[in-house]
Amino acid sequence: MATTTASPSTNVDTRINVLRRGLRKLVAIALLALAALAVLASNARAAPLPCDQTVNSTTGATITFTSVGQVYSLCLTIGTTSAPADDAVVYGVYSVQNTNAFYNAPIANTIGAAGNPQFNSLDYSPTTAKAAYTLHATNPNGNGVTANAGQSAIDITLNSMSTGGQDTVTLYYAPGCNDFGTFGCTGSQLASAPYVITIVLPGPKVTAISPTSGSASGGNSVIITGSNFTGTSGAGGVKFGAANATSYVVNSNTQITAVAPSGAVGSVDVTVTNGGTTSPTSAADVYTYIAAPTVSSVAPSAGPTGGGTTVVITGTNLSGATAVKFGATAATAFTVNSTTQITATSPAGAAGAVDITVTTAGGTSATSASDSFTYVAAPTVTSVAPNSGPATGGTLVTITGSNFSSATAVVFGVTAATGFTVQSSTSITATSPAGSGLIDIRVTTPGGTSATSGADQFTYIPAPTVTAIAPGSGPQAGGTVVTITGTNFTGVTAVSFGATPATSFTFNSSTSITATAPAGSGVIDVRVTTPGGVSTISAADQFTYVGAPSVTSIAPSAGPTGGGTTVVITGTNLSGATAVKFGATAATAFTVNSTTQITATSPAGGAGAVDIT
């Protein structure tokens, strides 16, 4: 066999090629060293967090977030000193399938290759339909350059979420790589095997509701405060007990405004559901359905338009009342006495009927005839007739005005009328009580009491009194002019002698009247009548009717013409004689001895017979 001997030039070329290959190896080693230093520098930027979970698996891991912004530290390990299959996961997991694991640091690097390795790990920030995350390799593998002694770690941050429930992020690893010693990749370098991180997103949580109670008929707007509300949708997203909210609006991740549906009286939990997760129940989410209040009666059922009436409202479910209204106007004040009673003060209102309503957390009472309250205009008095009467009372007075219906009182000054009758809304007849002076007649109705004015004034007139009469007697035929002295004669309307009116009378002053006696007989009382009444009888007012005198005998029956004869005159009704005459000539003197005898002295006279009268 022929032997071929290499030429010197060929040997030189071979040695040069060997040197070149050696140089390339040195360069590659230098580049790997530089890459390792870069990895170490990258690792130094943030100290690894304590492991929230340490996983030994080639298929994936499940992690649970409790809030947005939380950082979850997932540690990957094998815990042995050999190179089992799951060591490939520790070697590195990548965001892009088929990344060359030998030339790239874990997570996001996808451009490293021979001669240009990329060992400075970059963050990976995936966004799914449910949430957005950031994955950061806090202890990345040096990919055969610097081993991690069988453990690596990923910090996963939940940046935001649009709904709750379960989510996934898929990473990839190269089955042919390992993390022990400097094994590097003994098979395929491509990260082709999936590593699925299953993420349980934080569910909704209710921390407060306001208000915490409402009407059993529903319709109350309730603000729900909590967390992880984003993504809540659908009819069952918010529930009051087992019933769906009538409607709701997700204001933010931490607040929902919902309209309560109707419900049975009692307490229920308000829950929020999204992503298949329902908020856990607690004392913070309890909502109480309250029965609506009812009003069964009001007393009194009427009052003045000026307000101020104290009204007792009776009903049910009145506890916790927040408002009492008379029509559309709030009560001036109210007090909840019990679950069945409220005392309220009526505000001012226009004349007419209104409904009294009570509002509680359970709603507002329905209106009915039982809650009706009537505002009544105050009565007015425009005239009284007569406008005066005796101080002893008893005058029947007609009061004219307006709004007299349902009058409850009539007073003369401060004294109640002896009696009164409501004739119509404009007329009342009342009997005056005893009183004195000038007073106002006032009428009270549910609308109040009439204001005083000149039109309602009534004067009490004192009764007249007779203190003396002169003369105290007169003929039965009447005609005697009698002077009556006394008090309170002003306005005199009558003078009577016994039961017979005086023939005439003249008012001289409040203390004097002149009257002409009518025919009469016996002893009678002279009485004066004024608007103040009739004078009471007394000895001072007595007047005696005297019969005409008669002469039955005289003794002696004759005497000298020169007069001077003492004559005893016998007869009847001689008392009070004012004159004795012999013919036409008055007796020189006379003395009334009794009603049947007079002694008289005859005057001078011509011879002949004369009559003694």
Q: What percent of the chain has pLDDT over 90?
A: 74
Q: Enter the tokens of residue 589.
A: 């003197």
Amino acid at 73: S
Q: Could you read off the pLDDT of 523-536 as tens digits, one per residue?
A: 999 999 998 999 99
The pLDDT of residue 84: 55
Instruction: Please tell me the predicted confidence (pLDDT) of residue 276.
Output: 84
- pLDDT of residue 143 exceeding 80, the answer is no
In which band, very low, low, confident or very high, does the pLDDT at 85 lie, cut at 50, 70 and 90?
A: low
What are the beta bridge partners of residue 54? 75
Q: Pairing relation of β-strands 193-201 and 60-64? A: parallel
Q: Which residues contact 324 (CB under 8 A, 6 or more apart)?
A: 313, 330, 331, 334, 342, 344, 356, 357, 358, 359
End-to-end CA distance of the chain: 227
- DSSP element (H, E) containing 24: helix 8-43
Measure the CA–CA gap between 453 and 552, rounded to whole angstroms. Answer: 72
Which CATH code fits 465-546? Answer: 2.60.40.10
Whether residue 230 is predicted with pLDDT greater than 50 in this model: the reply is: yes
Average pLDDT over residues 311-326: 97
Which tens digits make up the pLDDT trace of 446-458? 999 999 999 999 9
Q: How do residues 36-63 score in pLDDT, each as one tens digit?
A: 444 334 444 345 578 999 888 889 999 9
CATH superfamily, region 205-290 = Immunoglobulins (2.60.40.10)
pLDDT of residue 79 exceeding 80, the answer is no
pLDDT in tens, 4-16: 333 433 333 333 3
* Mean pLDDT of the residues in the chain: 88
How much is the pLDDT for 91? 80
pLDDT at 218 over 50: yes
Segments in 61-137 forming alpha helices (H): 87-91
User: 181 or 119: whose pLDDT is higher?
Assistant: 119
The DSSP-derived string for 206-266 is EEEEESSEEETT---EEEEEEE--TT--STTSEEETTEEPSEEEEEETTEEEEE-----SE
Please give the CATH topology (third level) of the domain spanning 53-106+125-201: Immunoglobulin-like (2.60.40)
What CATH number does the domain located at 380-461 have? 2.60.40.10
**Distances 133 to 107, 136, 204, 520 between C-alpha atoms, Å:** 13, 10, 19, 133
In the sheet that 221-227 helps form, which strands lie side by side, from edge to edge? 205-210, 221-227, 255-259, 247-252
Over 60: is that where the pLDDT of 35 sits? no
Domain boundaries, the chain: 53-106+125-201, 205-290, 294-376, 380-461, 465-546, 550-602
Q: Can you tell me the distance from the alpha carbon of 543 to that of 534, in angstroms, rounded to the nearest whole number?
A: 17
Check: CB of residue 46 under 8 Å from CB of residue 25.
no
Q: Please state which of the ranges 138-147, 273-282, 592-601 shows the lowest mean pLDDT.
A: 138-147
What does the DSSP 8-state code read for residue 386? S
Domains 53-106+125-201 and 205-290 share a fold: yes
The per-residue pLDDT for 80 is 55
Which token pair is 71?
């950082």
Instruction: Pick from 181-190, 346-355, 571-580 the range whose average pLDDT is largest.
Output: 346-355
Taking residues 499-527, report their average pLDDT.
Answer: 97
Q: What angle do CA 35, 40, 46 make, to 5 degrees?
A: 135
CA distance 118 to 16: 31
CA distance 250 to 230: 7
Helix, strand or coil, per DSSP, at residue 174: coil
pTM of the model: 0.56
Q: Are 82 and 166 in contact (CB under 8 A)?
A: no
Is the per-residue pLDDT at 2 higher than 50?
no
- Does the 294-376 domain belong in CATH 3.20.20.150? no
